[in-house]
Structure 1
Amino acid sequence: MKFQVLGPVEIETPGGAQVSPRALKVRSLLAYLCAHHDETVSSGRLIEALWSGTPPQTASTALHVYVSKLRKHLQGLGLDGTSLITTQPPGYRLRLLECDLDVYEFDRLLAKGREFRELGDLVKASESLDRAISLWRGQALEDLRGIPAFESLGRRLDERRSFAREQRFELELELGNHKALVGEIYSLLDDRSTWENIYGYLMVALYRSGRTTEALATYSRVRRNLVEDHGIEPAPRLQRLQHAILTHDPSLDDFGADRLARVTVA
């Protein structure tokens, strides 16, 4: 059985069936415990999240009811609900036991990517990050983003995917896979009109693919977005990258991820 929050909240059976609780409060409870799978979550935090800061007087009793319903739902799937959702003062804790959790798998693959990178195996490092990113099925907690606590939590999880993507782009550029990156990065830009780092990676990928004009147009695009939306100029690191492209700085042809980080990220 697999719990999933990197997208709409789901429980997936080994056969691929989606069997997540339908009731909003029960599904929200499951999602919050999954997102904090490595800790005991207090009843107070759960009440705050489930009722968006305006709980009824009966919230404590209602929370116990929702925990009971979630355990029963899990038992209906052939799982030991009481062992999975344990009562640990001052609240509750999700214990994975023999179940999988996509957030846990994501973190594990990120750690493997770091290990491979430290060992100098950039190919395996990039592959690990790619597998981690592929676990996402949309925005984290996508079906609960209308609830304030889950919008905030979902954004924090989404930032971790953005970090993984940036790390992978650096590795792919260092491996010389700049041509393959161009289309991939272009597909991300519409929803990230002011994400300067990703524009920097695209500028380098385009330049190294012999598309200097497009690389400079990319800078103009992000500059226009930043000026029109926020009244600010691009960060100095992006301005330096534009200058390097304009002057055909030789270092742009073959520098690795560590130097790219200093130019476009640091």
Structure 2
Amino acid sequence: MEIRLLGDVEVEIDGATFAPGRAAERCVLATLALNPGRPVSVDTFVEHIWGARPPAKAEETVATYVRAVRRTIARGGGDRLSLANRRLGGYQLDVDPRVVDYRRFVDLRASARVRHREGDHQRAAETLERALALWRGEALADVTGLWADAHRVRMRRQRLDATYDLLDLHLRAGRATAMATRATELALDDPTDKTLALAIRGLAASGQRALIPAFMARTADRLRDVAKTRPGPDVVALARQLTNEPDRDRRPPDPPARRASAGGSVTMTATNCVNVYQATGDQYIAELRESAPATAQK
């Protein structure tokens, strides 16, 4: 049996999945699975499900949800008795923490950090790949409420941090072209200074320095649209530095389709490169677009 939180909340056995029917029941299962072997009070369930405005008879309703979760665990090959009543009206899920995919993800990340410190970068990267393969989408995807929203943010950040670590390991191992492709895609999906810096380093290391200015322009647009901010001065300085550095170990460029994903279709000239790095934010983008050939603009 496996309890899965890194996507829809469900119980899986031999390829078959079973999920509680109501979002509140899935919230109960997720709360228990995040605290294996520890008692969880009814008040905690009430807060996670309803927040500050619980309904009348909330405790009785929680008991109904717990019974539904017991049935789901039994259908998924687990023991109904593993979800037991505990003192002070709480409940406890007595399972091996390793049956919870999120717990395995956390343990694999910790193991990868140990291997990285020991200098075994290959095994560290393989361990992180295994950790990230556990994700099936957004964590707690079918659980609603403020508690689930807040926990999703924390879990998403852990996933991104693991991805950052993996990309850095790939770069150290000389897999720069593959790293650049993944990093530029990640930067467009999650535009932050950290993802931009990783992508810039990957493009430079894979011999694609000429793509950096157009990539920066495109991701600056995403930062403005998504986060109402602009690339930080350190990232802009890094981009300028790596654009202008000569390639010490030039690698073959990626195929055209892959190159397009890195920077879009803006044609860059030497003048553009200078203008791009003279400022950040709106002026930064305006100077780029004004100096790009009209046929290349979208």
- TM-score interval w.r.t. the shorter chain? 0.7 to 0.9
Does structure 1 retain, via aligned residues, the 8 Å contact 2:192–2:223?
no
The one-letter code of the counterpart of 1:57 is A
CA RMSD in angstroms comes to: 2.5
The change in CA–CA distance for 1:99 and 1:135 in structure 2 (over 3 A counts) is closer
Contact 2:11 2:76 in 1 (8 A): no
CA shift, 1:78, in A, is 4.4
How far apart are the structure 2 equivalents of 1:200 and 1:251?
19
Tell me the residue number matched to 1:9.
9
1:157 and 2:158 equivalent? no
Alignment length (residue pairs): 250
Q: What does residue 67 of structure 2 align with?
A: 68
Residue 236 of structure 1: aligned partner: 233
User: SS where residue 3 of structure 1 aligns?
Assistant: strand
Assess, with a 3 A threshold, how the Cα gap between structure 1 residues 147 and 242 changes in structure 2: closer, same or farther: same
Q: How does 1:1-266 map to 2 (within 5 A)?
A: 1-13=1-13, 15-37=14-36, 39-89=38-88, 91-97=90-96, 100-144=99-143, 146-192=144-190, 194-227=191-224, 232-248=229-245
* Counterpart in the other structure of 1:262: none
> Which has the larger Rg?
2
Runs of 4+ in 1 over 3 A off after TM superposition: 36-40, 75-78, 224-233, 249-253
CA distance in 2, matches of 1:94, 1:252: 55
Residue 84 of structure 1 contacts residue 97 of structure 1 at CA under 8 Å; is this kept in 2? no
- CA shift, 1:136, in A, is 0.1
Alpha-carbon deviation of 1:31?
1.4
Q: Quote the Cα distance in structure 1 between the aligned partners of 2:188 and 2:72.
A: 39
1:207 deviates by 1.2
CA gap of 1:88–1:177, structure 2 versus 1, over 3 A, is farther
Distance in 2, Cα, partners of 1:252 & 1:37: 50
Q: Which residue of 2 aligns with 1:257?
A: none
Identify unmatched segments of 5+ residues in structure 2: 251-298
Alpha-carbon distance in structure 2 between the residues aligned to 1:108 and 1:84: 23
* Alignment-mate amino acid for residue 113 of structure 2: R
Amino acid at match of 1:9: V
- What's the TM-score once normalised by structure 2's chain length? 0.75
Structure 1, unpaired ranges of 5+: 254-266
SS at match of 1:138: coil
Counterpart contact for 1:6–1:102, Cα < 8 Å: yes
Give the Å deviation of 1:3: 0.3
Report percent identity of matched pairs.
27
Equivalent pair of 1:86/1:95 in contact (CA under 8 Å) = no
Quote the Cα distance in structure 2 between the aligned partners of 1:202 and 1:150.
31
SS, match of residue 135 in structure 2: coil
TM-score, with length taken from structure 1 = 0.84
Letter in 2 for 1:174: R
**In the TM superposition, what is the alpha-carbon distance from 1:88 to its structure 2 partner?**
4.5
Shift in CA distance, 74/246, structure 1 to aligned 2, threshold 3 Å: closer
For residues 244 and 129 of structure 1, the distance between their equivalents in structure 2, rounded to whole angstroms, comes to 30
Report if aligned partners of 2:36, 2:96 keep a CA contact under 8 Å in 1: no
- Aligned to 1:142, the other structure's residue is in SS state coil
Contact 1:31 1:141 in 2 (8 A): yes
Answer yes or no: is the 8 Å Cα contact 1:106–1:132 preserved in 2.
yes
